[in-house]
Amino acid sequence: MREVPEIIYYECPDCEGFTNHEVLKGQMGRATLMGTFRCEECGRVFSGTIQIPEILKVGVNISDGPVTESASTEIESDDLLAVDDEFFLDDGRRVRITALESSDGRRSRKMPAKDIKLIWVKQYDVLSIKVSVNDGKRTYSVRVEAEPDDEFLVGMTLTFEGFDCLVHAIKARTRLVRRGSVEARDIVRVYGKIRRKTHQVLDLEEDDDFVDGSVDFDE
C-alpha cells in the first residue's frame, strides 16, 4: 500500500489554479486519495476523493561494465521517461537510462510510462572519463574516475601516476569547450598535455584515435 503523502499539488477552486495542499488525513487507493486537504495559498479546507497517478512496476536491465543484471522499479503512470534521465534504484544505486522498450519490443528515446515494459540503464555512481594526453610527440589514452556531478575545468591539472595533465579542451555532448567547465555526466573526452613527468610514459596505451599525434576534436 502506498503511503499517504504530506503534500499534494492539486487544483484549488478558490485560487483558480494548481497549488500545494496539505493532506490533513487521507486513505490511499490504487489510483485515488480520499481525505481532507487544506490549500496552502488560501487556507480552504475540503474533503473528497482525488485521482492520482497509478504506480506501475516495470523491469530494469542494469549494465555495469561487462555485467548486466535484472531488477525492477516503480514509476507513476503519468510520467514521461527519456534516454539520459537519471534515477535511483531501490537499493540506492544511481542509474541513467540508455533505452526504453515497449511491450511490442519497440525501442524509443522517449516514452510514456504506461507504454514501458523494460528500462535499459547503466550504473551511474562512478564514471570512467576518457582523457587524451599529448606529450608533444604522441597522444595516449588514460582514464580518470569521477562522480556525475564532478566538474572538469579547462586549465585544471589532472594528476596521474608519474605525470600531471594540463586540461586544454573538453569535448562535451554538444560542443567543444575551450573555456569554462563541464560536468562529468556530459563529457565525451578530455584533452590535455603532459605538464610534468617523472619517468617516461611507456606503460600508457597509445590512443588509436590519434595516428599522427594530432588531436581530432570532431570525434
Q: What is the mean pLDDT of each run of 10 residues along the chain (219 residues)?
A: 83 88 90 92 92 90 85 90 90 88 93 95 86 89 90 94 91 92 93 73 53 49
The pLDDT assigned to 197 comes to 56
- The domain of 18 spans 7-51
Cα-flanking dihedrals φ and ψ of residue 75, to 5°? Answer: -135, 155
Q: Name the strand (E) or helix (H) holding 5.
A: none
Q: Is residue 211 part of a domain?
A: no
Among the candidates 96, 123, 150, a domain finishes at 123
State how far the Cα of 190 lies from the Cα of 172, in Å rounded to an integer: 9
The pLDDT assigned to 206 comes to 55
Do residues 105 and 63 share a domain?
A: yes
Domain count, the chain: 3
- Write the burial class of residue 164 (CB in 10 Å: 0-12 exposed, 13-18 middle, 19+ buried): middle
Q: Is residue 75 part of a domain?
A: yes
State how far the Cα of 2 lies from the Cα of 26, in Å rounded to an integer: 11
Do residues 167 and 135 share a domain?
A: yes
State how far the Cα of 122 lies from the Cα of 97, in Å rounded to an integer: 7
Q: Is residue 215 part of a domain?
A: no
Q: Name the strand (E) or helix (H) holding 211.
A: none
The pLDDT assigned to 44 comes to 93
Q: Is residue 181 part of a domain?
A: yes
Do residues 30 and 59 share a domain?
A: no
Do residues 118 and 137 share a domain?
A: no
Do residues 136 and 199 share a domain?
A: yes
Do residues 159 and 188 share a domain?
A: yes
Q: Is residue 216 part of a domain?
A: no
Do residues 117 and 132 share a domain?
A: no
Q: Is residue 12 part of a domain?
A: yes
pTM: 0.55
Q: Is residue 218 part of a domain?
A: no
Query: What is the residue-wise DSSP string for 57-113?
Result: EEEEEEEETTEEEEEEEEEETT-EEETT-EEE-TTS-EEEEEEEEETTS-EESEEEG
The pLDDT assigned to 88 comes to 87
Which residues, in sequence order, are bridge partners of residue 20?
9
Do residues 201 and 139 share a domain?
A: yes
State how far the Cα of 19 lies from the Cα of 2, in Å rounded to an integer: 22
Is residue 24 within 8 Å of 37, Cβ to Cβ? yes
Q: Is residue 212 part of a domain?
A: no
